[in-house]
Amino acid sequence: MMLEAAQKSGKLLSVLAQNRFTTPMMKLKDVMDSKLMGPIVHVQVDSFWWRGHNYYDLWWRGTWEKEGGGCTLNHAVHHIDAMLWMMGPPVELQAMMANTSHNNAEVEDISMAMLRFQEGALGMITSSVVHHGEEQQLIFQGKEARVSAPWKVVASTARTNGFPEPNPDLEQQIQKLADELPDVIHVGHAGQVENVLNAIETGSPLLVDGKSGRNTLELIVGIYKSASTGEKVTFPLEGEDAFYTREGIMKNAVHFYEKKTAVENFEDVDITLGRKLEF
């Protein structure tokens, strides 16, 4: 409905995805767009977080009704958005999820999804709040080289017997491109606000439009559908799909446990925002 309203009114619609507006993400996107890596053959998204059992004691957490899902929606969403920004949407997926460590929550605390993209690339997304250390990364494997955030570039070429040896020339070419790209001036929310204001004032394109937000949500819903039903999911999801609406998800998604503990708030108000994907 929001997309339709924006189209009919001619107004701009942007969805919050402030993590795109960082130097590591912008540089990685530009490197990907350069095609120096060759066609992408595999993408790996590790959205690893750790939350204690009492994290879900907060009254609104851990229910399909109030939170809309678990770690796949509420922790991995920005990593999933970044992957889609760089790769485009998959055509199908198969997923599993579980609640391994939080019996005070209806929702998952870990999920894994295998993806297939239109051009043949495969992918894996792991969303978790049970990983100690909270290592988070996006890795893109091309036919000629790999790049990732946190930043790492590796290129290989074949020896006469087919085994790998380093390709330092390509590594240096990719590294030179990355080094010459400018740093982001306005980071995070400030960067996205600037992008929206520029779009309003000058007509420049939105970096995150409504369709981007829908694509991210559709992929997450696809993970929930596949993990709940055991079925392979193909995209796009149609309006008559049982998981297409909030009510449908609440009715059909797996309830791992019934939430029995609810506290109004925590005395400890400090939160962590995960590890920075340094360049």
* Every domain of the chain and the residues it spans: 2-6+24-178+204-244
Four-residue CA torsion sign, 177, 180, 182, 188: positive
- pLDDT (mean) for 110-120: 97
CATH class of 2-6+24-178+204-244: alpha beta
Question: pTM for the complete prediction?
Answer: 0.94
What percentage of the chain has pLDDT greater than the value 70?
Answer: 97
Q: Is 69 left (phi over 0), alpha (psi -120 to 50) or beta?
A: left
**DSSP tag of 236:** S
Between β-strands 152-158 and 122-128, what pairing exists: parallel, antiparallel or unpaired? Answer: unpaired
pLDDT digits (tens, 9 = 90+) for 203-226: 999 999 999 999 999 999 999 999
Residue type (1 letter), 91: V
Average pLDDT of every residue of the chain: 94
Q: How confident is the model at residue 117 (pLDDT cuts 50, 70, 90)?
A: very high
pLDDT at 279 over 60: no
